[in-house]
Structure 1
Amino acid sequence: MNALAQKIIDAHGGLETWNRFSSLTAHLRQGGALWGLKGHPGKLDETDVTVGLREEWASHAPFGPEGKVSRFEPGRVVLRDSAGSDLDTLSDPRSSFAGHALETPWTELQLAYFAGIAMWTYLNMPFLLAQPGIESEKIADWHENGETWRRLRVTFPKSIATHSTVQTLYVDEAGLLKRHDYDVEIAGNTPGAHYIGGYVNVQGLMFPTERRIYPRLPDGSSLSEPLVVSIDLSDISLA
């Protein structure tokens, strides 16, 4: 890892502490325009999410008012009933988004895939920077709202399912995340600026509890509306 990546990981509690755990669970409250645009308003407004910290998987429960439970892995998404019986399955889910634009509706299984890659990425960041195959490099500083943020360009291997191959992290002087940029490939490469705050210490690790995602312009600046997605986390625990 480069020096900036190491500083960011250390600021969030360090790898030694992170490696004590294999999963993370949190309560989510979500909003924003995306869910209705994709045909699923309210389905994931309030739920619990659990993600793997050693392997890539995520589960939302409940997944919608019927009390379903999702299970996302890069090569397969499953929806189950509350008793654990499979209801529907999608293999090779990434390929199902071919030709999609921002306005293209999603099926329930596609929604579960998106929610899975999103929360797995967010909740494992920045410790993903230490994973084999993930490359990072420091790029020019960024000035916003009277602050100067250091930036790290991150390149993901094809083996990891996430928003886009190349993403950018913005951090403050202490090394805590302030913003996270990516292009949502499965929604027509829609560019997003994802703002991060509300840090809390959980079992020796620093986690943001407030996330707000807005459209990003070609020059890197962001629009103040529409609010694409809001995420508020509580009751974070690691096991």
Structure 2
Amino acid sequence: MTTPLLDSVLEAHGGLARWRGYRTMEATIVTGGKLWEIKGQPQDPMPRRMSVALQREWASVQPFGAPDQRTDFTPERVAIEKFDGRVVAQQASPRETFEGHILTTPWNPLQRAYFNGYALWTYLTTPFFMTLPGMSVTEIDPVSEHGEQWRGLQVRFPDGTASHSRLQEFYFGGDFLLRRHDYRVDVAGGFSAIQYVSDPIEANGIVLPSKRRAYRCDADGHLLPDELMVAIDINDVSLAP
């Protein structure tokens, strides 16, 4: 079920009919930010190739941990494997391994792979994932930013879908393109984050932001400008049927 605002948002990002003609997306990503050091998983500035499925929740990034390795993520299982498919390590029910975590709890490589998988799947499929079965979308109050008013959608994710938090908020400019994404990082103690997106690019008729900057918030929901947790630059995007 969609809303009038979501209908306009989908059209601005390339249209649902066009999106449904594709099955996978690939993109080159460069990642930074404070979160990786906090979690004991230092991030280098090397470009990596990210792949996601568009009609189901699956993701993979390469290289990961070694030049000939990649990840294989679904909500039910995460693995690190060689390019020939040999499994290096795997974890079933990976969400359960974050039980009791706080912001400073270290992650192991499989936990990092799980976070990367669900986060990039969410980012690269926004806003179209909102039309998948079980997603509940409601228009919420707008926010005022940079002299503009950005209209909002709150999404409730269904059981079985992995993401930052069950409830997330997305805000769109007058052109109906995404400007901001709010969520709680449940796998890292539930800290609140505001992610600003910018510099839209087009690939195969689909529009998506090429820059993402996620900041931690204080207890009152105010952004902490020195707490840039995750930075992602995205380019060389392609979609395939």
Q: Structure 2 vs 1, CA of residues 224 and 213 (structure 1 numbering), >3 Å: closer, same or farther?
A: same
> Alignment partner of 1:55: what SS?
coil
Aligned residue number for residue 13 of structure 2: 12
Instruction: List structure 1 segments (4+ residues) > 6 angstroms apart after TM superposition.
Output: none
Aligned residue number for residue 162 of structure 2: 161
Q: Spell out the pairing of 1:69-218 with structure 2 (5 A cutoff).
A: 69-218=70-219
2:55–2:132 CA contact under 8 A, matched in 1: no
Unaligned runs of 5+ in 1: none
Per-residue CA deviation, residues 73-119 of structure 1 (Å, 9 max, x unaligned), is 10001111233211111000000000001101101000000000000
Alpha-carbon distance in structure 1 between the residues aligned to 2:45 and 2:72: 14
Number of residue pairs matched?
239
Q: Which range is displaced more, 111-120 or 61-70?
A: 61-70
1:164–1:182 CA contact under 8 A, matched in 2: yes
Q: Structure 2 vs 1, CA of residues 22 and 124 (structure 1 numbering), >3 Å: closer, same or farther?
A: same
Alpha-carbon distance in structure 2 between the residues aligned to 1:218 and 1:9: 33
Q: Percent identity?
A: 39
Q: Cα distance, 1:219 vs. partner?
A: 4.5
TM-score, normalisation: structure 1? 0.96
Alpha-carbon distance in structure 2 between the residues aligned to 1:40 and 1:218: 26
Aligned residue number for residue 54 of structure 1: 55
Alpha-carbon distance in structure 1 between the residues aligned to 2:28 and 2:110: 21
1:44–1:63 CA contact under 8 A, matched in 2: no
> Alignment partner of 2:7: what SS?
helix
Unaligned runs of 5+ in 2: none
Q: Cα distance, 1:140 vs. partner?
A: 1.1
1:44–1:64 CA contact under 8 A, matched in 2: no
Alpha-carbon distance in structure 2 between the residues aligned to 1:49 and 1:141: 32
Q: Cα distance, 1:64 vs. partner?
A: 2.6
Alpha-carbon distance in structure 2 between the residues aligned to 1:25 and 1:41: 24
Alpha-carbon distance in structure 1 between the residues aligned to 2:65 and 2:223: 31
Alpha-carbon distance in structure 1 between the residues aligned to 2:105 and 2:39: 6
AA aligned opposite 1:117? Y
Q: Which range is displaced more, 184-193 or 138-147?
A: 138-147
TM-score, normalisation: structure 2? 0.95
Per-residue CA deviation, residues 181-233 of structure 1 (Å, 9 max, x unaligned), is 00011111111101111101111110110000001245443221121110001
Q: Cα distance, 1:138 vs. partner?
A: 1.1
The alignment's C-alpha RMSD in Å is: 1.3
Q: Cα distance, 1:150 vs. partner?
A: 0.6
1:192–1:215 CA contact under 8 A, matched in 2: yes
> Alignment partner of 1:10: what SS?
helix
Aligned residue number for residue 39 of structure 1: 40
Q: Structure 2 vs 1, CA of residues 97 and 49 (structure 1 numbering), >3 Å: closer, same or farther?
A: same
AA aligned opposite 2:23? S
Q: Structure 2 vs 1, CA of residues 104 and 153 (structure 1 numbering), >3 Å: closer, same or farther?
A: same
